[in-house]
Chains A and B, each alone.
Chain A
Amino acid sequence: MTDLIIETNQLCKSFKDKPALCSLDLQVPVGSIFGFLGRNGAGKTTTIKTLMGLLHADSGSASVFATPVADADRSVEIRRRIGFVTEDKELYPYMTVEQIIRFTRPFFPTWRDELAQRYMELFELPPKRKIPDLSKGMRSKLMLLLAISHQAELLVLDEPTDGLDPAATEDVLREMVAIAAASGTTIFFSSHQLVEVERIADHIGIIHRGKLVATGSLDDMKAQYQRLNVVLADSVSPPAHWPEGVESVRQEGRVLSILASHNVDAIVEQARAIPGSTVERFPVTLTEIFLEHTRSN
């Protein structure tokens, strides 16, 4: 059985009777780079805030490092082992870059000055500059520096590349992968950017309207999901019912486009049973999987 670093069971959270999380069962394996995907308002930030102890769940449970996050005393110990990058990347406006580093360092016994120095140089952060004078990209990099310089076992990154230019995005993604590869740090990050998630994540969770609608290893997902193009013979109608595993069927002229999430062989067999039809199988992208699960209803 895989060790889990984050686990939620039937986690629910509402804001003024509007459900934000509904029975969320999330499992993040140790050492993974877990991309947490969802549309705006799907519940990504609510999940992250609940894991960080910033929100209190209405029901269900959440644990990080096998420690319940609802326990205020023990959540301090959890936070000591986590590096967190917030969604809006705001830091104290009255501090400079070097002051915020000096401020953060003593909270973490595992802090390494040489790491902080390395990232200062790598990210080209000006030590004397006040935080409000930094661009959003620089603030993101500074938050990442603060999160990783204490050798966190788990990085929780809420939209780490949001608002960054392509060069800054590239820097951040490269470092995320390097950190995970070098130290085995687990990275749990939320994002809208499917291309970058597909590039670096090895595990995926898709949340829609507060529910986890798909999760698993990215490779397994891509292996399970396939698109089938079925070219029908003239005047042949497609079957009304398909085997289990068909997520969607679209028809354009004589071509049926089927997205299958599992049981692909049985679906192919049924498609081939249609007189005069030809069937082709294609791999799918993460974008297709995401869109399929997050279309309304």
Chain B
Amino acid sequence: MLCYKGWLETRFKLLFTLGFVCLNLSMMHSYSSNIKTSVLLFMVTLMSQMMVMLACGMLAGAGINTQPTFQAAKGLHGSTLFTLSLPVSRLRLLTVRACIGWLESVGFSAAFCCAMWFASPLLRAKVAPFDLFKYALTLIVCSSAIYLLSVLLATFLDEIWRIWGTMIAAVALGWLSVHTYLPASFDFVRAIGKNSPLYTHTMPWSAMAFSLALSAAFFYAALKIAQAREY
């Protein structure tokens, strides 16, 4: 039933995100005539990064806080108190909600890659299907760190600030990556950009592993905050 609650909380956000994708894909379709492969790959990776970051920001949640912070600060916790009165541990509340959003973002990434493939004849002509599959997998794993960061933010920020926080963190990571401040083997932003399987034809395993480790750390921090918080 927590899954049901998670689905009700995210369904319109998922729709909104998918709507954004359709807009981008239609642009991609109209631009896909006669451009260089390098430009095409740059467009594909940039658009994927943006779309996945948007999905991470929109779909993440901690499953506990439902009330804006300014109201919570006044002691008005709203339906949060009802959630916490259920015979469920905060670990389960957080895990289920995080998993729902993560599965949606996984589905979103996979669907986005498939949709790009069908929307762009040029992509079909210039990229091998297996490379695109590897890219989708990389996208899913490397974006999980951003997703779990958004989950962490959801334990103490309300919706709007959490989405902004996630976007700002994603842009900051992109900036660090562009300016090569991050070691290449750990740079999971570059792993879905210039170092992605679309360019290198190999999986960026170390960056993926680093992203997963970071995700675990963010989840652990989110859990500790959720367990310690008072309402």
Contacts and interface: CB of A to CB of B under 8 A. Distances in A.
A86 B82 contact: yes
Contact of B5 (A82, A90, A103, A105): A103
Interface in B201-224: none
Contacts of B230: 49, 54-56
A92 B231 CA distance: 17
Contacts of A86: 81-82, 85
Contacts of A168: none
Given A55-B230, A56-B230, A72-B227, A92 B87 contact: no
A80 interface: yes
Interface string A33-75: 0000000000000000100111110000000000000001100
A160 to B, nearest CB: 14
A79 interface: yes
Contact of A93 (B5, B76, B79, B85): B79
A93 B5 CA distance: 11
A76 B82 contact: no
Interface string A5-44: 0000000000000000000000000000000000000000
A151 B187 CA distance: 55
Nearest to B12: A94
B35 interface: no
Contacts of B67: 90
Contacts of A99: 8
A92 B76 contact: no
Nearest to A108: B87
A125 interface: no
Interface in A66-113: 72-73, 76-77, 79-80, 82, 84, 86-88, 90-95, 99, 102-108
B4 interface: yes
A41 B162 CA distance: 32
A76 B78 CA distance: 20
B66 interface: yes
Contact of A92 (B5, B77, B90, B227): B5
A54 B81 contact: yes
Which one of B4, B5, B76, B86 has the highest number of Cβ atoms from chain A below 10 Å of its Cβ? Answer: B86
Given A54-B230, A55-B230, A94-B9, A84 B85 contact: yes
A87 B80 CA distance: 12
Nearest to A158: B81
Contact of B88 (A84, A94, A102, A107): A107
A102 B1 CA distance: 8
B89 interface: yes
A52 B89 CA distance: 12
A3 to B, nearest CB: 22
Given A106-B1, A107-B1, A91 B82 contact: yes
B84 interface: yes
B88 A76 contact: yes
Interface in B51-68: 66-67
Contact of B78 (A53, A88, A95, A108): A88
Contact of A90 (B81, B84, B231): B81
A92 B66 contact: yes
Interface in B75-110: 76-79, 81-82, 84-90
A103 B81 CA distance: 15
Given A54-B231, A72-B227, A88-B76, A79 B8 contact: no
A177 B89 CA distance: 31
B84 A54 contact: yes
A73 B92 CA distance: 11
Contacts of A72: 89-90, 227
10 contacts: A53-B84, A54-B81, A54-B231, A55-B231, A73-B89, A79-B86, A79-B87, A90-B78, A92-B66, A104-B1
Interface of B: 1, 4-5, 8-9, 66-67, 76-79, 81-82, 84-90, 227, 230-231
Interface of A: 49, 52-56, 72-73, 76-77, 79-80, 82, 84, 86-88, 90-95, 99, 102-108, 143
Given A55-B231, A91-B82, A92-B79, 8 more contacts: A72-B89, A77-B87, A79-B85, A84-B82, A88-B76, A90-B82, A94-B8, A107-B86
Q: Which 9 A-B pairs have the closest CB atoms?
A: A80-B87, A90-B78, A84-B85, A79-B87, A86-B81, A54-B231, A90-B79, A106-B1, A55-B230
